[in-house]
Amino acid sequence: MRLDRFLGQHRALGRRTVRRLLAAGRVTVDGRPVRDGHHPVDGFSRIVLDDEPLQGKQARYLMLHKPTGCVSATFDPRHPTVLDLIDGESDELHLAGRLDFNTTGLLLLTNDGHWSRRLTRPGGHWPKVYRVRTEDPIEDHYAATFAAGLHFRYEDLTTRPAVLETLGRYEARLTLSEGRYHHVKRLFGHFNNRVVALHRERIGPIVLDPALAPGQYRPLTDQEIHLCRQDPETPP
Ligand code: URA
C-alpha cells in the first residue's frame, strides 16, 4: 500500500492534509522522514506521525536447524511440528518452504507473508543446496541426467537443471533451483537409488549457521533478511 493512502484511511484525513503532513516531514517510516506519498508500506512498516506510532507490527525471521522426526507444518495431530521447537510466541509464524519428516537442515520461519512469498514463489528460483547420502553408489552418469532435467509424471513437467557434485561413493551435494514434492528423493529414485539421509545447507543467500545444533534456531540478521528481498538473478 502507498503511504498517503495508509494515512488517509488510518486517520480519515483528506488528501490535502496528508500532503501537508508529508511535506512538513512530520511522518517517519522505519525511523526516517518520508515526504513521498507513493512510498510503499506494509503491515510491518513502523509509521509515526509526529511522536505518535500509528502502526508497526514486529516482523520475525528465524532460521531453524530442523532435526529429524518432526513435521514441517504448523499443526499435526500425531507428530511434533517444527513450531514446537520455538520458545514463546510462535502462533503467527509460518514456514517459508518445507522439509520432509526425516530431512534435516535449514528451515526459515517468519510472520512476514510478503517476504516468504517472494522467497518461495514458483518463478523465484533461489538455489537450494542439499547434502545427500544414498543407499547405492552414485554413478557418474547421474549428473548429466539431473542437469538435463527429468520428467515428473504427477506434475507433468520437466525439472529445471540440477547440479550434482559427487563427494564420495554414496555422498553428493545437489543444487536445485526449484522445490517440488520429494524432489531430491524422486531424482535419485529415477535410478532406484534410495536417499538415506538428506540435509539442506543453503537457500539462496542464507547458509545454515554451523553454530546451530539440530533443533536450535536464531533470528536472521538484517543482511540475510535484505538479501532475500533481492531477485535471485541479482548476485548478492
Ligand atoms: N527433497 C526431498 O526429497 N525431501 C526434502 O525434504 C527436500 C527436498
Answer yes or no: is pLDDT of 236 > 60: no
Read off the amino acid at residue 166.
Answer: T
Distance from Cα 234 to the centre of ligand 1, integer Å: 26
CB 200 within 8 A of CB 143: no
Question: Which ligand 1 atom is at minimum distance from the Cα of 200?
Answer: 7
pLDDT higher at 7 or 51: 7
CB 106 within 8 A of CB 65: yes
Catalytic residue at 100?
yes
- Looking at residue 137, its pLDDT comes to 98
Q: What is the DSSP letter of 17?
A: H
SS3 content of the chain, % helix, strand, coil (to 5): 20, 30, 50
Rounded Cα distance between 142 and 159, Å, is 14
Beta bridge partners of 62: 109, 219
The active-site residue out of 4, 100, 112, 222 is: 100
- The CB of 182 under 6 Å from ligand 1? The reply is yes
Of 8-17, 114-123, 179-188, 226-235, the poorest mean pLDDT is in: 226-235
CB 110 within 8 A of CB 62: yes
CB 42 within 8 A of CB 57: no
Closest C-alpha among 203, 210, 199, 195 to residue 225: 203
- Looking at residue 199, its pLDDT comes to 98
How high does pLDDT run on average in the chain?
91
Answer yes or no: is pLDDT of 91 > 80: no
- The CB of 198 under 6 Å from ligand 1? The reply is yes
| Residue ranges of domains in the chain, CATH in brackets | 3-55 (3.10.290.10), 58-124+214-236 (3.30.70.580), 127-203 (3.30.70.1560)
| Cell numbers linked to 85 | 521447537
- Looking at residue 131, its pLDDT comes to 98
pLDDT in tens, 173-187: 999 998 899 999 999
- Looking at residue 51, its pLDDT comes to 80
Answer yes or no: is pLDDT of 139 > 90: yes
| Cell numbers linked to 221 | 540478521
Question: Which ligand 1 atom is at minimum distance from the Cα of 100?
Answer: 6
Rounded Cα distance between 164 and 72, Å, is 25
- The CB of 180 under 6 Å from ligand 1? The reply is no
Categorize the per-residue pLDDT at 122 as very low, low, confident or very high, splitting at 50, 70 and 90: low
Helix axes 3-11, 15-23, angle to 10 degrees: 120
Which H helix or E strand runs over 16? helix 15-23
Q: What are phi and psi of 191, to 5 degrees?
A: -100, 15
Distance from Cα 186 to the centre of ligand 1, integer Å: 9
The Cα-based distances of 49 to 23, 34, 101, 181, 234 in angstroms read: 12, 11, 47, 47, 35
pLDDT in tens, 8-46: 988 788 999 999 999 999 999 988 999 999 999 988 888
Distance from Cα 50 to the centre of ligand 1, integer Å: 50
- Looking at residue 232, its pLDDT comes to 75
- Looking at residue 235, its pLDDT comes to 42
Closest residue to atom 3 of ligand 1, CA basis: 182
Continuous H helices in 149-198: 183-189
Answer yes or no: is pLDDT of 152 > 90: yes
- The CB of 184 under 6 Å from ligand 1? The reply is yes
Answer yes or no: is pLDDT of 234 > 60: no
Q: What is the DSSP letter of 50?
A: T
**Residue position matching grid coordinates 510491518:** 44
pTM of the model: 0.81
- The CB of 203 under 6 Å from ligand 1? The reply is no
